[in-house]
Chain A
Amino acid sequence: MKYVYYPGCSASGTSKEAEESLQAAMKALGVEWTELEDWNCCGAAVAIGTSYLLSIALPARNLALAERAESDLVTGCSRCFMNLIRAAHYTRKNARVREEVNELLAETGVQYSGKGRLRHLLDVIINDVGLDVVAERVTRPLDGLRVAPYYGCCQGMWTYAQFDSVEDPHCFDQLLATLGAEVVDYPLKTACCGGTLSMSRRSVGANLIGDLLAAAGDADCIVTACPLCLFNLNSFQGEAGRIKGTHFNIPVLFLTQVMGMAFGLPKKALGLQRNAVPVDGLYEKIAAGAAVSSAAAGASRPR
């Protein structure tokens, strides 16, 4: 399978750990791809507030580049994924939008015809690589680690519709279970983290983040499939705690970080030192969990 990879802006900046771990984990799985050459920002949740046309044309340029490369376009950022697929949807659906978008794209010397396939990282891992291959790579199962998968929102309509149930997705659960983790189901797993509101309207953004952190309850950590959510859930725990009248200190990791942990990759390669809420405690929990499970295995061994 031929892929071009679209990192997106947060992965190369505020959520560097996502990008670092993603590269490491994919390499471990033997997935080969090339970075989409000359990619640009998809407009995040900001372009739509500025210009309708740009909110379509910015992501469409990346689609056009991928179309030219004749490969599936993969991204590990749910917000980017949503913007990209939304751009594909509206350029296909509306002839005038298509015309105007291409008029814009002509400025950078590309055209978008609506072809080409867009893939989410989870989709590639589960459906192309396969959970059996993931399982083979696991050397340090996440025994006893209670993980709350955070699917995130914007994915609902656009992302999961492509390969999972929209309102009640389970692909992430399957992946985490394959890594040996105990999956914590909680009601807000597909609720929005507030996106850029954490910057533009802190009180509202932090309130939403607080709801999510509280809902994940007694999980040892939260794992996200989106670098933007990763940044939000990590960076504003103090503020969220103040609003909710409590204190949050729950590690939030990117999905390839936990994959890398289970694959036994070095911490540094996974950018684990970069997570705002320290994650070191998780290794201790895994070790304790491993001890319990091997003891249990020993006890049940026939004499």
Chain B
Amino acid sequence: MAEDKSEAKIGVYICHCGSNIAGTVDVEEVTGFAQEQGPVAVARNYKFMCSEPGQALIKKDIEDLGLDGVVVAACSPRMHEPTFRRVCEAAGLNPYRLDMCNIREQCSWVHKNGATEKAKALISAAISRACYLEPLERREVPVAPAALVVGGGIAGIQAALKVADAGRKVYLVEREPSIGGHMIQLDKTFPTLDCSACILTPKMAAVKAHPNIELMTYSEVVDVQGYVGNFKATIRRKPRYVDESLCTGCGICWEKCPWKAESEFDCGLGQRKAIYTPFPQAVPNVPVIDPEHCVYILRDGKCGACLKFCERGAIDFSQTEKMVEVEVGAIIVATGYDVFDPSAMTRYGYTRFPNVITSLEFERLCNATGPTGGHIVVNGQEPKSVGIIHCVGSRDRKYHEYCSRVCCMYALKFAHLIREKIEGANVYQFYIDMRCYGKGFEEFYQRAGSEGVTFIRGRPAQVTDLAINEQEQGKLVVVSENTLVGAVMRVPVDMVILCPAMEPRADARDVARLFNLSQSADGFLLERHAKLEPVATANDGVFVVGCVQGPKDIPDTVAQALAGAAEALALIDKGKVELEAATAVVDEAACSGCKICLPLCPYTAITFNEAEKQALINEALCKGCGVCVAACPAAAIVARHFTDQQILAEVEALLVDARPATAEV
């Protein structure tokens, strides 16, 4: 080893990151330490190594000193490894000769004392590893020129349209019978009060009409294989029992169907038939038959009203589930959110009192296409007073710690709508903080205030029907501290609207696994970087947009959807992707042909050459996890860029300060 090390010429570059690193780590001392290490030809520190001048420093040294390895001690490799690899490449050094040493996220930001010592150990390890790094070549493969968009809410619709408009093929998959998502359930949208359906339905129609979009509703993605640029997705198409190519959406079938069920679209406030479209503007305007309520299906052919009346003969009970496979270069995940179920918080009496409703239920009550035709009616009466409780299940450790971001604004919108529809109604907002941060939001807040809405700062402790005076008889009483007064108030109202948290879909974990993504602590899917890569994920080629990534309003969702489309297009339009060079390779001479590695590979990248009795790794399929490497009893498989030699050298040098000098034999 010693000879190798002395031959290597390593440059070490320590970044101050302003005061982010230099404020905690003594960069001069660390530079001095690095300078003393055998293989180090040069060690420098600089304020911002990622800046132009910082990069120029490295470039110049590579060129002037002929470095054969570079260590950059700065932020996480997840942040700037690509940057410094480019620097090496530009200076004529193979980019795989770079090692990043994380002294920010895993050192200066988390340690008050001992950060300098730890930085030295980490740098020593990186230098050691850098001595053994080998040049690698990346290969390019073509990209499948299509995108898969999962989820047909506003995020998915917007992303699909943009990719399709750019001339690329899009597969849009939606679980429900129609696209539209939560947005199509809303009545008006804040702060401009445009009608949600009015702005969304044209986009839905455009999706249906677009020659580049293949819409698959009532379908789910069940499997994803492959890698960036070359994904293979399997989509399960559930049987509608209605032939989409024949149906004209005339509606005679659901008019004649005698069987009813609660309408999911109307949050159970209204009813639909067993054959139904969820709402009149559904896209596609083709009904589905709900097998749990259709008597024809439940009782072997008794009924069949739809069959009889459909003039086109579109009803087809022989349909079965179908699997479709598509090849795409990029995937946009836009599966949205669920609404928190407030019945868990018994203190607010949701489900116990019929006049305690959720915000989404209120949207349906308020909507002209809703179960009441847009009349706000509970218990058969128009409420003269309404309490709106913010942060139900949000900003609460017991449920969701985060702020759901949209409730303050829609609560103001509700106040406006109630005051508009019910003459002289009193509206009370029970809020903790009013968060009106968006464009035009503060102005809307002012407007709502001027329209006669009462703001009570406090998180209500309960909603009760226990009256303690005449005024409270027959009312719901919202009990809350008015924190600005410092007194508990009892506010009698006719209706209470709860603003439940937006929460990750119940199956968010399954979705994360399906697309090989991570979840953040709150359960939403994790983006690659909170600020700079808001839609990219740890899985190259898969992007998350809209509320699947976290609660957000419509403008933010649309912006993210467009970002996702841009990312997908950038990937597809480039036409090719570079494959990871850090794959595993079999040393044929050493392979004993024991076949232990074969079943271990999750990508079936390892095949066996029976003639030569040797294992063989297909580099296009290998993703470089290294499971086979660690398992090979003959040590015949080498993990490029993570060789045994590199890692052992790294480990040894990491403990440079642990061994007394005399212990070295």
Contact = CB atoms under 8 A, between A and B. Distances in A.
B347 A215 contact: no
B346 A188 contact: no
A187 B466 CA distance: 7
Most chain A CB atoms below 10 A, which of B346, B347, B464: B346
Contacts of B464: 187
Contacts, number: 14
A167 B346 contact: yes
B465 interface: yes
Contacts of B466: 186-188, 215
A153 B462 CA distance: 15
B346 A165 contact: yes
Interface residues of B, number: 8
Interface in B521-555: none
A136 interface: no
Interface string B461-492: 01011101000000000000000000000000
Contacts of B468: 211, 214
B346 A168 contact: yes
B55 to A, nearest CB: 51
B596 to A, nearest CB: 46
A35 B14 CA distance: 71
A187 B347 contact: no
B465 A167 contact: no
A187 B346 contact: no
Contacts of A211: 468
Nearest to A244: B468
Interface in B343-396: 345-347
Interface string B550-591: 000000000000000000000000000000000000000000
Interface string A134-168: 00000000000000000000000000000001011
Contacts of A165: 346
Contacts of B465: 187
A111 B590 CA distance: 63
A186 B468 CA distance: 13
Interface string A46-75: 000000000000000000000000000000
A165 B464 CA distance: 18
Interface string B313-355: 0000000000000000000000000000000011100000000
Nearest to A166: B346
A146 to B, nearest CB: 17
A51 B606 CA distance: 69
A214 B464 CA distance: 15
Contacts of A186: 466
A161 to B, nearest CB: 12
Interface of B: 345-347, 462, 464-466, 468
14 contacts: A165-B346, A167-B345, A167-B346, A167-B347, A168-B346, A186-B466, A187-B462, A187-B464, A187-B465, A187-B466, A188-B466, A211-B468, A214-B468, A215-B466
Given A167-B346, A187-B462, A214-B468, 11 more contacts: A165-B346, A167-B345, A167-B347, A168-B346, A186-B466, A187-B464, A187-B465, A187-B466, A188-B466, A211-B468, A215-B466
